[in-house]
Structure 1
Amino acid sequence: METYELKVGPLTRQLPIVPISDELAIASFVLLGDAELTDYAARALAKQVPADFDYLVTMESKGIPLAQELSRVTAHPQFVVLRKSEKDYMRDPLKVPVTAITTSAPQELVLDGADADRLANKRVVIVDDVISSGGSLTAAQALIEKAGATVVGQVAVLAEGDAAARTDIQYLAKLPLFPL
């Protein structure tokens, strides 16, 4: 299998290159389970988040370990997870549609009403593992604004493809796309 060598600070990972369509392949980056990279990324991104924010918000599921570690490193004892589906325990959830480069079917992001109440009038930093097409980020921004919060920063471990040229995000390394 063809791989891409990813370097993030002092760490190196071999990522398998996998097709996601007839025209495009990606280097498959999975942060889940990589405690060493999660720890390094959280410490490095903590230096890039705005000094003044109230909550970190991430999307289910790959951003969760990074948000948890970043929450700990920045002394923010709680963070909020935007879910990919409505759960029975949710009270008055807020929802927005989302499309992303790695999902073939339409999805939605869901914010529990209790979390929405917590975020109202707060300053939020969005945390993700990879920013690529920006679909998930756009949906997260819309959901956070729907809750009455303000996005003051957006951070990720990697910026994939054209996302590396964005000026509204902070990231640690670039990840190329692979045309087929």
Structure 2
Amino acid sequence: MTIDQPDPHFTEPTHGYWQTLEPPGMDPARRRPPFRYGYPVELPDGRFLVLPIRRRPDPERAAASLIPNHASFAVIDALAGFMAELARPLAPDVVVGLPTLGLALAPELARRLGHTRYAPLGYSRKVWYREELSQPVRSITSPDATKRVWLDPNLLPWLAGKRVVLVDDTVSSGTTAAAVLRLFAAAGVTVAGVVAAMSQGGAWRDHLAAEDPAWPGLVRWVFETPLFRRVEEGWEPIGHP
């Protein structure tokens, strides 16, 4: 099998995904399981974005994948527009982008809210960063590596006393969102909400609630996707989005 060939277990190279939006009226047969290679999600305006299905470490399980920094400008524009409408009622003073993939969406969302800039967080420590302005985080895509998310201390005076909205591509396990919420709580910054393009599965709700019962209610998203289990004909959702 070469890099451009489909996997016999119903995954395939992803370079053709995240590039176009399909018009309303998708054939219902394409929206029924089992799914082979791609999973279509309906956007608020009725158009569809087909996401590639990628296997998880357990080869019998898979998830729909969204990689915004691989996406076309048209797809980013659409997602950022929907996310801005979710963020607008929260009246944020500052939009904060979560690393890494939230940074592809946060500036476009901030622009649509009329902001002139946004605040990026990062995983790379600069020499002037302070340990107390960081939190450990382990993401679903890097299960063997514990890293830290950092807030540049030069941003703190700008954020102090402001309402912020956190922006990420996906909320899945909830570990990244929880780490950033802890970070901002320790820094004395008010988080008005967490806005994501995709809610993946439901594990994040329990994870956030275990730390603070109010945290799950902060999260808003454009579309939901389930997790999948392997069946003979492809992939079948585990539960429903």
In structure 2, what is the Cα distance between the partners aligned to 1:163 and 1:156? 15
Give the TM-score normalised by structure 2. Answer: 0.68
Give, in angstroms, the shift of residue 164 of structure 1.
8.4
Contact in 1 for aligned 2:122/2:150 (Cα 8 Å): yes
CA deviation profile, 1:90-124 (whole Å, cap 9, x unmatched) = 44361100122222111110111101232122111
Give, in angstroms, the shift of residue 162 of structure 1.
0.5
Contact in 1 for aligned 2:96/2:118 (Cα 8 Å): yes
User: Which aligned pairs between 1:114-153 and structure 2 lie closer than 5 A?
Assistant: 114-153=154-193
Partner of 2:221: helix, strand, or coil? strand
Higher share of residues assigned strand: 1
Contact in 1 for aligned 2:62/2:229 (Cα 8 Å): yes
Pick one of 43, 54, 66 that aligns with 1:29.
66
Aligned to 2:218: 168
Q: Structure 1: give runs of 5+ residues left out of the alignment.
A: none
User: Which aligned pairs between 1:20-169 and structure 2 lie closer than 5 A?
Assistant: 20-22=56-58, 24-32=61-69, 33-49=71-87, 50-88=89-127, 90-92=128-130, 94-104=133-143, 105-162=145-202, 166-169=216-219
Aligned to 2:18: none
Comparing 131-140 with 91-100, greater Cα deviation is found at 91-100
Partner of 1:64: helix, strand, or coil? helix
In structure 1, what is the Cα distance between the partners aligned to 2:101 and 2:224? 18
Q: Is 2:57 aligned against 1:18?
A: no
RMSD of aligned Cα (Å): 2.0
In structure 1, what is the Cα distance between the partners aligned to 2:122 and 2:204? 26
Greater relative contact order: 1 or 2 (C-alpha under 8 angstroms, separation 6 or more)?
1
In structure 1, what is the Cα distance between the partners aligned to 2:100 and 2:130? 21
Higher share of residues assigned helix: 2
Q: Structure 2: give runs of 5+ residues left out of the alignment.
A: 1-10, 12-36, 206-215, 231-241
Give the TM-score normalised by structure 1. Answer: 0.89
* Matched residue type, 1:40: A
Give, in angstroms, the shift of residue 7 of structure 1.
2.7
Identity of aligned residues (%): 33
Partner of 1:21: helix, strand, or coil? coil
Q: How many residues align?
A: 179
